Amino acid sequence: MNDRTCIVTRNTAAPDDLIRFVVGPDSAVVPDLKRNLPGRGCWVTANRTHIEKAAEKRLFARAFKADVTVPADLAGMVDRLLAKSALGALGLARKAGAVSLGAAKTEAAVRGGKAVAVLHAQEAAEDGCRKISQARRATVHLGGPDIPAYKLFSEAELGLALGGTNVIHAALLAGDAGKAALKRMVALDRYRGGSPDTRSAFAAVAEVDVAAEDME
C-alpha cells in the first residue's frame, strides 16, 4: 500500500504506522483497524496523543468535509480494540504452541534464542522481571537477538487469553503465530506511548555487577 497522510501532523507514513477512520451510517467516526471498511477514510498517526488531538481540534470534520460525530472516548475505544486484537492473537499463538508460560520457561526460551518477545503481567514483581531481563542481556552478549519485553496486560487478562491461571511471565516463540502476536503487541505498545519494558536488553539491566555476572 502507498503511504498515507496523517490529518494531525500532515506527515506521510506507511499504513501500519497509522490508524484509518471512516464515517458510519450514523455519521459517527469509526476506527477501522483492519483497513477494510467501505467508504472514504482518513488517517491518524497510531498513538493516543494524536487521536485525542484530532478529536479536540475537530480535524475529522475537516478531513471528511462533513458534520461528523466524534465519540467522547474515541481514543479509549481504539485502545480497547487494539488490546482485544492483541489478546486474540495471543490466544491463537497459544493454540499454535508458540507461547511458553512461567518464569523458568520464559527465561529458558530467552536464553535458548527461541523467544521473539517477553510478556510480563502488570502485577509482576520487579525481582521476577529483573531475572528475565538479565537473561535478555546475556543473550545479546552471546550474539543472540535483543528480545523486547512488554507489560501491557493484567494477570487476569493474560490468564484469560493464554488459558492459564497466575500468568505472570510468558514468552512468545518464533514462528508465524508468535510473530503475528508480536506485531499486535508492538502496535498496542506504540499506541500507549511505549514503556521502559520495551527498551533494549542493555537498557533494561544497567548494573555493572549484573553485566559481569552475565559474562561469567
Q: Are 143 and 117 in contact (CB under 8 A)?
A: no
- Domain of residue 16 covers 4-74
Measured between alpha carbons, how far is 147 from 109 in angstroms, rounded to an integer? 11
Angstrom distance (rounded) from CA 170 to CA 100: 5
Residue 81: pLDDT above 50?
Answer: yes
88 in the same domain as 23: no
Question: Going along the chain, which residue ranges are E strands?
Answer: 4-5, 12-13, 18-23, 29-32, 42-45, 99-101, 115-121, 149-153, 169-173
Does residue 185 have a pLDDT over 50? Answer: yes
CA–CA separation, 4 and 199 (whole Å): 28
Q: Span 185-206, mean pLDDT?
A: 70
Residue of 206 and 159 predicted with greater confidence: 159
Provide the domain count of the chain: 2
Domain CATH number, residue 9: 3.30.1230.10
What is the pTM (predicted TM-score) of this model? Answer: 0.87
- Higher-confidence residue of 195 and 69: namely 69
Question: Average per-residue pLDDT in the chain?
Answer: 89
| CATH number for position 137 | 3.30.1330.30
133 has pLDDT over 70: yes
Q: In terms of domains, do 42 and 126 share one?
A: no
From 29, 48, 74, the end of a domain falls on 74
Residue ending a domain, among 54, 74, 94, is 74
Domain check: are 103 and 210 in the same one?
Answer: yes
Return the closest-CA partner of residue 120 out of 149, 100, 157. 149
Task: Give me the residues paired with residue 117 across strands.
Answer: 172
pLDDT digits (tens, 9 = 90+) for 2-25: 789 999 999 999 999 999 999 999
